Amino acid sequence: MTQAPAPVLVESDEDLRSRGSRWLRALGRYIGPDAGVFERQLPFFLVFGVAMVVILFVPGVVTDRGRVVLAAGVAVAVLVSAWAVPWHRAHESAQMILPLMQLLAIALLRMGTGGNLSMFGSMVFIPIVLLAGRPSRLGALLGVLSVGVIVVVPVLLDPQAPVTGAAMGRSLFVMVVAGTITIIVHEATARLRARNAALAELQSTQLRLNAQLTLDAEALARLAHANDEAREQILSVMDAVTEQAIVATDAEGVIELFNRGAERLFQYPGTDVVGRMNLVKLQVREELEERYREAFDADGPSAAGAEDEDLFAAVAAPAIGGVQVRDWTFRRRDGSTGTMQLSAARRTDVHGSTVGYVIVATDVTAEREASRLKDEFVALVSHELRTPLSSVLGYLELILDGPDPLTEEQREFLLVVERNARRQLRLVSDLLLSAQLDAGTFSIDHRDVDLGDVARATLAEAGPAAEAAGVVLGLHVPDPVHVPGDATRLEQVLANLVSNAVKFTPRGGWVDVRVERAPEGGARVAVSDTGIGIAPDELDGLATRFFRASSATQRAIPGVGLGLSIAKAVVEAHGGELTVTSRVGEGTTFTFTLPGA
């Protein structure tokens, strides 16, 4: 049976580079920058020891015993000096003394063993390598010159050695070889030093980066731990809130968080909805479709047959520009419905993209039902009171203007009844108008209105009350001012403002009404008084229904707090704006503007 030939192993370029790298590292161990001074002398000393063994056991090698002994002494001196002298304290170039001493020892040994014919002349390459490995090129130059001295001088000094061209050529060739080796070794060690320096820099950078990475990892771990603690704390707070439903969703409306308040409101356990249900499933679809059409124009997508994530846009749309609170109808698990006050806030990532929404809902079913019943009651009572009051005023007018004579006392009594009946009728009208505003049945009959005539009629009606209160009324209408509007409603606005001004102005004060064209077009009406004024922190609440300033309650000034809220609603229904400025103890000015035609 023929044996298969052994496979031929061919070294790859990577293997050759690896071997060369190992050789350079081994070389650097004894001649590189990481080698010690003593370690660098060991190769020479070992080779010199081998030479001594050859001399002892091979007869006829020694031609001059004195020079051999002197060479051995120099070699021992090199080793002792390398070990005993603190070379690390001396200048870097001082270490070249030892290779030069080695060359001296080799020269003596060569001259003591045959001179030009000595077998130990090749030892010169050991110190040459040491000199070539120094950072400075001076070492390489000294090595080459020293070889020349060692090789050429014995030939010139030995009287028995003929100076021939062959001998000189051989000596010069040895110098060329020594110079070549010197250049190779010097470049190799220079590269090795550069590589070691780069490696040391990389190691330093790596250590620094590792230290920084460790610090960053610790900081990240602390941040992650703090984030987990904060998340757990937020979840605990959310679960502790039972009066408000807190629901977190993704960008499409799928529920991601469902607190106990939400479980209580919708009557669903969190495990049944989190990650499984869209928020729109908890709302009335018909209302969602209507709000969807409100959020998007008629040319937008149709709400009919829309997917849950599309309808969720009706809930999320107000949150794009901020947080908006609005009433919605919700559906409980048992199918019953209620009213919730819902606010939606958008959640974004670091790039500003929407990642979800936070929904906070409060059950306001009872409050909205109570408000509805109250409004119905106010409207019903106002209507039922208005009819008999109108009848009373009608009969009073017949009596006062009738043919039957009345005594002064009777007429005075009837006028008091008429004033109070008209006051009650105005109050009932305000209540009825307030109910109409809440019900959305309030309307404006736009016609051309002369605001000067409206102001004159108002002051004529307020005249008796102002006279009784000792307040002077003033009217300033520089030019006729016409605007489109409802004369009856605008007269009601002025009547409420003038009535309030009279009530809050002490005796001897004045109330001034000014009607003028606005610089930007339309009209501007200002009602100013010298009354008791309003505290700055109460100005924002003046137009709230049933709100009364502290100055009014402290002085027991009669009123129910409807006049200003109605005036503001009427002015805004005309497209205008009502503002107020006031200083406590100095007076108040109400100003409303109306757009022109």
The token pair at 216 is 């960053």
Task: Tell me the pLDDT tens digit for each residue of 144-196.
Answer: 777 766 766 665 555 555 555 665 666 677 777 777 877 787 777 778 878 88
Characterize the bridge pairing of strands 587-594 and 577-583: antiparallel
The predicted pLDDT at position 319 comes to 57
| pLDDT for the residue numbered 545 | 56
Q: Render pLDDT for 314-324 as a digit per residue (tens, 0 to 9).
A: 777 665 555 56
The region that residue 440 occupies, defined by phi over 0 for left and psi between -120 and 50 for alpha, beta otherwise, is: left
Q: Show the low-confidence residues of the chain (pLDDT under 70).
A: 1-35, 92, 116-117, 148-149, 151-171, 235, 237-241, 295-306, 317-324, 375, 378-379, 381-383, 386, 430-432, 434-442, 539-562, 597
CA distance 516 to 593: 10
CA dist 243 and 264 (Å) reads 8
Q: What is the 3-state secondary structure (H, E, C) of 259-323?
A: CHHHHHHHCCCHHHHCCCCEHHHHECHHHHHHHHHHHCCCCCCCCCCCCHHHHHHHHHHHHHHCC
Has this prediction a pTM greater than 0.85? no
- Would you mind telling me the total number of residues written for the chain in this entry? 597
What tens digit of pLDDT does each residue of 18-37 get?
555 555 555 555 544 556 77
pLDDT score for 514: 92
Number of alpha carbons in the 13 Å side-chain half-sphere of residue 42: 11
Strands of the sheet containing 510-517, edge to edge, are 472-476, 510-517, 523-529, 587-594, 577-583
Nearest Cα to Cα of residue 537 among 553, 545, 549, 522: 549
pLDDT score, position 299: 47
Dist CA 532 CA 295 (whole Å): 46
Helices (H), 133-164: 137-157
